[in-house]
Structure 1
Amino acid sequence: MILRHPLSDIQSENIGDNTRIWQFCVILKDAKVGQNCNICAHVLIENDVEIGNNVTIKSGVQVWDGVTIEDNVFVGPNVTFTNDLFPRSKVYPKSFERTLLRKGCSIGANSTIVAGVVIGESAFVGAGSVVTKDIPSGTLWYGNPAKMKGYIAEDGTVVKL
């Protein structure tokens, strides 16, 4: 069963069991959302989007075409994704850049994820960061532009450089 707020606009039928969708969310018809996710208020999910299981997307996030989010990912409030490296009004690319968030990574609040990057498994992006290039698995990055500041140990602790 999907737990959906009556003030959300859910057009997709590809949503897994035990997923919660809060008020003022829009999920377009071709989007895929896994099981046991928490989609907080004011989230937009476009058509060419795949979201795995146990994903949390906090309020104010827009997940544009071309974004894939694997299992157990945390996306903080107001994270911004882009999908076009050279946007122009009323000019659309033949295809959008692909962005991939690997299993278990976390993206801090107000971060910007530039189109076409891969954020590795269990990586951590600190709040307010601007991610302009791929982030290896198990690493800690923050800043503008985001730079590597440490590692995430297997037990989840941070080892700073």
Structure 2
Amino acid sequence: MNFIDESAKIGKNFKPSHNVVILGNVRIGNNVQVGNNIVIYANVRVGDDVQIQDNSVIGKLPKTSVISSLGKRKNISFTEIGDKVTIGTSCTIYAGTKIGKNCFVGDLASIREGCVIGDSTIVGRAVTMECNTKVGRCVKIQTASHITGNMVIEDYVFLGPEVATMNDKYMGRAGSSFKGPTIKKGARIGGNATILPGVVIGEDAVVGAGSVVTKDVPPSTIVVGVPAKALKTVPKEHLLRK
């Protein structure tokens, strides 16, 4: 049995499966398909030709621990899902997040509140993305990577599987500022690499698999190791701008 609030505005050719719940002030475009056991909370905008697969939740309000330093969230804006987006099975998209057109969000992904994801970006299976992170266009984030809060990923960045990014320099002690890394346009990060808080990865730079990056990486530079050190310059034929 489905429940659709009377205030929801539903486009043409809407195809809900079973146990779909759509709450108030929701707008859904044309040709949208939603699977079984879907919850779409209030204040959500879904574009045309979107597919939301089984057991996913859209527009979930955040809830923090009573001892969390983040405090209570205020003034959360609309959740927006762009045209031709696919959201996989068992995903959670929190309130106030904006996902651009032609994006793909893999099964089991969790995208926290206040994130912005550009057009044609892939968020892989079981990726976790923390709050207030900005992701550009045509980015590829592979399976089980952890994208920390308050970080920036620019256009055409590639992150391999299980990349870990950090934003808390003092690991919960006084003075923490929660500043995530910045990964510049066209940079590529190998699988299982770790990027520490506040680090800037330059344009077209490459971080080798398994590296731990503790300081800024210059543009078009390959770094490897623990801690990561410069190895050589990225070949010209591999540069994005070429």
Q: TM-score, normalised by structure 1?
A: 0.91
Q: Does 1:110 align with 2:110?
A: no
Question: Structure 1 residues 29, 92: closer, same or farther in 2, change over 3 A?
Answer: farther
Q: Distance in 1 between matches of 2:110 and 2:88?
A: 11
Q: Distance in 2 between matches of 1:83 and 1:21?
A: 23
Residue of structure 2 equivalent to 1:10: 93
Q: Distance in 1 between matches of 2:189 and 2:205?
A: 8
Q: Distance in 2 between matches of 1:49 and 1:17?
A: 18
Deviation at 1:121, TM superposition (A): 0.3
Partner amino acid, structure 1, of 2:90: L
Residue of structure 1 equivalent to 2:227: 145
Of the candidates 88, 104, 109, which is equivalent to residue 25 of structure 1? 109
Contact in 2 for aligned 1:84/1:93 (Cα 8 Å): no
Question: Structure 1 residues 22, 112: closer, same or farther in 2, change over 3 A?
Answer: same
Deviation at 1:79, TM superposition (A): 0.6
Partner amino acid, structure 2, of 1:132: T
Deviation at 1:29, TM superposition (A): 2.4
Q: Distance in 2 between matches of 1:129 and 1:13?
A: 30
Partner amino acid, structure 2, of 1:152: V
Question: Structure 1 residues 47, 93: closer, same or farther in 2, change over 3 A?
Answer: farther
Q: Distance in 2 between matches of 1:43 and 1:92?
A: 29
Of the candidates 124, 127, 135, which is equivalent to residue 51 of structure 1? 135
SS at match of 2:102: coil
Question: Structure 1 residues 93, 31: closer, same or farther in 2, change over 3 A?
Answer: farther
Q: TM-score, normalised by structure 2?
A: 0.61
1 or 2 for the larger relative contact order (CA 8 Å, sep ≥6)? 1
Identity over aligned pairs, percent? 34
Q: Distance in 2 between matches of 1:9 and 1:61?
A: 16
Residue of structure 2 equivalent to 1:37: 121
The total of aligned residue pairs comes to 155
Flag structure 2 segments of 5+ consecutive residues without an equivalent: 1-83
Q: Deviations over 1:40-97 (max 9, x none)?
A: 1111111210000000001111111121000000011111111111113xx5756312
RMSD between aligned alpha carbons? Answer: 1.5
Q: Distance in 1 between matches of 2:230 and 2:192?
A: 18
Flag structure 1 segments of 5+ consecutive residues without an equivalent: none
Contact in 1 for aligned 2:168/2:176 (Cα 8 Å): no
Q: Distance in 2 between matches of 1:9 and 1:152?
A: 37
SS at match of 2:179: coil
Deviation at 1:6, TM superposition (A): 3.2
